[in-house]
């Protein structure tokens, strides 16, 4: 069996591509180990500013490898998937999901973990776990924060497949675009993300999550402190100097 996850890094963008067409990019043990390894490679590479996660072929990810589950032959325990989802969720580098086709079950855990997600209108989504007598337990950790509880109940309980437009309504993805516009929309996002200061980008997710957990008065006090720290940073000085000189900051990806 050849490589199941391709890794490519160019001009500040690392692209991780699931490529296991024989099982619709299912989360087999081998694919999970490769994905986890390449993800950490991208996170540890200072040249990488943005990570794009996508799939090869007509399907993004069909979920767990049920053949392995039936046979009990899996060599990737749940800790591998949890590490992958946690690494994406807490990644200081923005992670863009380029959802090239249908996503099911465990594949939606990856969708939920990404920061910005774009899918073609032809893609479909579905939490089918209850239909085989299991629960979307692990992946719910990354999907539920994106969705309303009522919407999550609907799709978790029914197992019904839904459209990309419905995925936008549920908060699971950001954009549903025409199929021939997928790459252009992903490139639009990666170009914008490449203009942000690396330290500032890394601070956005923890900032949002901290505010959500604090009472308003305490949130204002904590955010005032954070704002002052950022304005005094070397990165902010470079950004403000570049703005005054009508040039790009040094960190902008060309």
Q: What is the pLDDT of residues 192-216, one digit of tens each?
A: 999 999 999 999 999 999 999 999 9
pLDDT score at 171: 97
Report which of 4, 50, 2 is spatially closest to residue 27, judged by C-alpha positions.
4
Residue 58 lies in a domain: yes
177, 193, 209: which is the final residue of a domain? 193
150, 170, 193: which is the final residue of a domain? 193
CA 15, 152, 178, 195: dihedral to nearest 10 degrees? Answer: -40
Residue 106 lies in a domain: yes
Decide if pLDDT at 51 tops 80. yes
Q: Is the pTM of this model over 0.75?
A: yes
Share of the chain above pLDDT 70, in %: 97
Residue 173 lies in a domain: yes
Q: Do 185 and 203 belong together in one domain?
A: no
Which pLDDT band, with edges at 50, 70 and 90, does 71 fall under?
low
Q: Which residues pair with 55 in a beta bridge?
A: 18
Q: Do 204 and 186 belong together in one domain?
A: no
Q: Do 115 and 232 belong together in one domain?
A: no
Q: Do 176 and 207 belong together in one domain?
A: no
Decide if pLDDT at 242 tops 70. yes
Go through 130-156 and write b for each residue having 16 or more CB atoms within 10 A of its CB, e for each that does not: eeeeeebeebbbbbeebbeeebbebbb
Pairing state of beta strands 103-104 and 95-98? unpaired
193, 209, 234: which is the final residue of a domain? 193
Domain count within the chain: 2
Nearest 5°: the CA angle 165, 168, 170 is 115
Quickly list DSSP for 112-153.
HHSSEEEEETT-EEE--GGGGT---HHHHHHHGGGS-HHHHH
Q: Do 67 and 120 belong together in one domain?
A: yes
Q: Do 9 and 102 belong together in one domain?
A: yes
Residue 251 lies in a domain: no
Please give the residue range of the domain that contains residue 204: 198-244
Residue 253 lies in a domain: no
pLDDT score at 1: 59
Average pLDDT, the chain: 95
Residue with tokens 């305490």: 218
pLDDT, tens digit (0-9, with 9 covering 90-100), for 104-152:
999 999 999 999 999 999 999 999 999 999 999 999 999 999 999 999 9
CA 146, 93, 201, 233: dihedral to nearest 10 degrees? Answer: 150
186 Cβ contact list (under 8 Å, min separation 6): 52, 96, 98, 118
| Mean pLDDT across 84-91 | 98
Residue 127 lies in a domain: yes
Residue 126 lies in a domain: yes
Residue 162 lies in a domain: yes
Q: Do 161 and 205 belong together in one domain?
A: no
pLDDT score at 120: 98
CATH number at residue 49: 3.90.226.10
pLDDT score at 240: 97
Q: Do 224 and 128 belong together in one domain?
A: no
């Amino acid at each position: 069996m050849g490589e199941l996850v391709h890794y490519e890094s160019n001009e500040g963008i690392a692209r991780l591509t699931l490529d296991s067409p024989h099982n619709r990019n299912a989360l087999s043990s081998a694919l999970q180990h490769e994905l986890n390894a390449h993800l950490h490679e991208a996170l540890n590479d200072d040249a990488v500013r943005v990570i794009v996660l996508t799939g090869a072929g007509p399907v993004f990810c069909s979920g767990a490898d049920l053949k392995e589950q039936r046979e009990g032959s899996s060599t990737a325990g749940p800790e591998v998937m949890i590490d992958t989802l946690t690494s994406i969720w807490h990644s200081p580098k923005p992670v863009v999901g380029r959802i090239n086709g249908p996503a099911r079950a465990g594949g939606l855990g990856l969708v939920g973990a990404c920061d910005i997600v774009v899918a073609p209108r032809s893609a479909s989504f579905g939490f089918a776990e209850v239909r085989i007598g299991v629960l979307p337990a692990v992946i719910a950790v990354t999907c539920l924060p994106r969705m309303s509880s009522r919407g999550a109940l609907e799709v978790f309980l029914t197992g019904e497949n839904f459209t990309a437009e419905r995925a936008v309504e549920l908060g699971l993805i950001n954009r549903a675009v025409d199929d021939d516009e997928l790459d252009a929309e992903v490139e639009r996002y990666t170009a914008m993300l490449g203009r942000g200061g690396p330290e500032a980008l890394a601070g956005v997710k923890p900032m949002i999550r901290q505010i959500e957990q604090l009472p308003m008065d305490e949130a204002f006090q904590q955010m005032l402190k954070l704002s002052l720290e950022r304005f005094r940073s070397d990165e902010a000085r470079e950004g403000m100097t570049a703005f005054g000189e009508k040039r790009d900051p040094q960190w902008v990806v060309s």
